[in-house]
Amino acid sequence: MSKKIQVSFSDKQVELLERLKGEFGETDADVVRNIVVAWLAEKSFISTVIKQRIIYEMSERKER
């Protein structure tokens, strides 16, 4: 199941997101989604096991 959430960014924020493409994903949605997940992991809202799974999945996506 997925849900679309509309968010707005300033021009500077969009520029930053563009620079992160390729590192955090290929699309705007991928980049924003992965930034949110990374932030949650950094703040310990996500357990170590899930953190490792996310890191693995992100590395798999980069290799594609």
Long-range Cβ pairs for the range 20-27 (8 Å, 24+) = 24/58, 25/61
Dist CA 27 CA 17 (whole Å): 10
Q: Let me know: does 9 contact 17? Beta carbons within 8 Å.
A: yes
Q: Let me know: does 58 contact 34? Beta carbons within 8 Å.
A: yes
Q: What is the pTM of this model?
A: 0.68
* Closest among 38, 37, 30, 29 to 6, alpha carbons compared: 29
Render each residue's pLDDT in the chain as its tens digit; 64 residues: 778 999 999 999 999 999 999 999 999 999 999 999 889 888 887 777 787 888 888 888 777 6
